[in-house]
Amino acid sequence: MTADLNWQEVNFDGLVGPTHNYAGLSVGNKASLSNANATSNPRAAARQGLAKMRLMLSLGVPQGILPPHQRPDPQLLAELGLPASATIDQVPGDLRSIAMSASAMWTANAATVSPSADTGDGRLHITPANLLTIAHRCVEPPQTTAILRTIFSDRHHFMVHEPLPRHSRFSDEGAANHNRVVGDHGQPAIHLFVYGREDGEDLGGPFPRRQTKLAGKLIADSHGLDPSRVVFARQSAKAIDAGAFHNDVVAVVNKTVVFYHEDAFERPLDSLLSEMPPDAPGIHAVQVGRERVPLDAAIRTYLFNSQLVSLPQGKMVLITPDNVNDEDSTRRCLEEIAADPNHPIAEVHTMNLRQSMRNGGGPACLRLRVAMAGPQRDALTGRVLATVSLLDELERWVDHHYRDVLTADDLGDPSLAEESGAALDELTQILQLGSLYPFQQ
């Protein structure tokens, strides 16, 4: 069945938006806080993202694209009590960075995805994340839902749910806390849902626990996942308090390989695995101990926020941010992996993603994994699967529309929003997505 249906995992990267900036909005995200009010370069950020997509294509890995959001978001303006005609300078000063944030670029937080091989009705199920813990991110779900419903519109193949309710009990950050462990993509998988707190728990701690177990449970049920193949793992308090605000900062899974830091989970991974049914795929756990890479170094460099992908010939490749070269321990760890001929990770590529990294977003944050059979890829709406010529076109579009300097003051300038609107209008034509944005309706 796998070979017949030509299953592939597509990484849908968020195209960095024209308002990419450093506002220091994410408590618990040390990079975001420490770069507050730095000057950003949206053009370089978008180009760095496109360069990552090019690398994936050159490796033979299918690449999808999710467009940025309209900013400011009209629903947010309405919820702030402003008229439909309001411009960003009418938003109170301290809320402007929230209204102009480009944070939808981190599509690992866009949604949780269950491929059709795992779901009750044999469709691909997607639940957009409610992202309600941090103010600027709770703005995202309506536009994310609209974008996903446009691209995954074919109801025969796809089901895009409503986000979970907007209350802290249902706090959900999407695929950044969800992993699919599978032999081949078209086979039934084990779903590993990672959470920071249980319903009703108030654990204190310096930083928020952004994901609840209840959220994962509701998503697993609504997608029709087999309960015996769903595992819930608590993220370690130590990791969250050290700045791993999402589990994908300290762990990454590809197929059956789990590459993770010793301090990622509250319980050892092998004890979690003992809960899996006997016919589940065997897991290849690649744990990196704290003696080898201290937790702080892993979080500073985003070693585990790498993309771990299988090439068409089966070889596994790790795409890491080049920040891993800033620390001896992480650099050495990768050198050892690359030098070991028996290691499941056969190759390591480093990429300059520093514009995104300064906001705490590495390679794995920038992508949403969607494993699909061939007919499902054919059923996607729009020109959202990358080719070299589409990436060339997008690069020209970025160069034409994006600023290369953006300061905190610029966010309150209505001309930035106007320029962004013109850019997004053209983007919907390039991607053939019709009247996608609120301003086009």
CB of 40 to ligand SUG, least distance (A): 9
Question: What single DSSP character describes residue 235?
Answer: B
CB 67 within 8 Å of CB 336: no
Q: DSSP characters for 129-178?
A: ----SSTTTTTSHHHHHHHHHHHT--TTTEEEPPPPPSSGGG---GGGGE
- In Å, the largest CA–CA distance within the chain is 62
- The string over 25-40, giving b where at least 16 C-beta atoms fall within 10 Å of a residue's C-beta and e elsewhere, is bbebbbbbeebeeeeb
- The string over 309-320, giving b where at least 16 C-beta atoms fall within 10 Å of a residue's C-beta and e elsewhere, is bbeeeeebbbbb
Q: Which stretch binds ligand SUG (CB under 6 A): 76-84, 151-159, 243-251, 403-411?
A: 243-251
CB of 177 to ligand SUG, least distance (A): 8
CB of 46 to ligand SUG, least distance (A): 16
- Does the annotation mark 262 as catalytic? no
Catalytic residue among 173, 185, 223, 349: 173
For residue 246, what is the enclosing H or E element?
A: none
Can residue 365 be called a binding residue for ligand SUG (CB under 6 A)?
Answer: yes
Can residue 77 be called a binding residue for ligand SUG (CB under 6 A)?
Answer: no
Q: Which residue from 10, 16, 25, 317 is in contact with ligand SUG, where contact means CB under 6 A?
A: 25
Can residue 416 be called a binding residue for ligand SUG (CB under 6 A)?
Answer: no
Q: Which stretch binds ligand SUG (CB under 6 A): 55-63, 164-172, 313-321, 360-368?
A: 360-368
Q: Which residue has the tokens 């309150």?
A: 412
For ligand SUG, which is the closer residue by CB, 22 or 259?
Answer: 22
Q: Which stretch binds ligand SUG (CB under 6 A): 23-31, 87-95, 257-265, 412-420?
A: 23-31
Q: Which residue from 43, 52, 157, 246 is in contact with ligand SUG, where contact means CB under 6 A?
A: 246
For ligand SUG, which is the closer residue by CB, 117 or 298?
Answer: 298
Can residue 195 be called a binding residue for ligand SUG (CB under 6 A)?
Answer: no
Residues 134-153 that bind ligand SUG (CB under 6 A): 137
For ligand SUG, which is the closer residue by CB, 117 or 219?
Answer: 219
- Angle (CA) 46-308-381 rounded to 5° is 55
CB of 440 to ligand SUG, least distance (A): 25
SS3 351: strand
Can residue 16 be called a binding residue for ligand SUG (CB under 6 A)?
Answer: no
Residues 98-117 that bind ligand SUG (CB under 6 A): 101, 103, 106, 108-109
CB of 99 to ligand SUG, least distance (A): 12
In a 13 Å sphere around the CA of 40, the CA atoms on its Cβ side amount to: 34
Strand partners, 180: 191
Catalytic residue among 246, 261, 349, 401: 246
CB of 22 to ligand SUG, least distance (A): 5
Q: Residue 44 to residues 19, 49, 69, 74, 392: CA-CA distances in angstroms?
A: 12, 9, 18, 27, 15
Give which of 114, 123, 27, 186 is closest to 369, Cα–Cα.
114
Catalytic residue among 125, 191, 365, 401: 365
Can residue 45 be called a binding residue for ligand SUG (CB under 6 A)?
Answer: no
Helix axes 42-59, 388-401, angle to 10 degrees: 180
SS3 432: coil
List interacting residues with ligand SUG (CB under 6 A).
Answer: 21-26, 29, 32, 101, 103, 106, 108-109, 137, 176, 245-246, 248-249, 359-361, 365
User: Which residue numbers are catalytic?
Assistant: 173, 246, 365
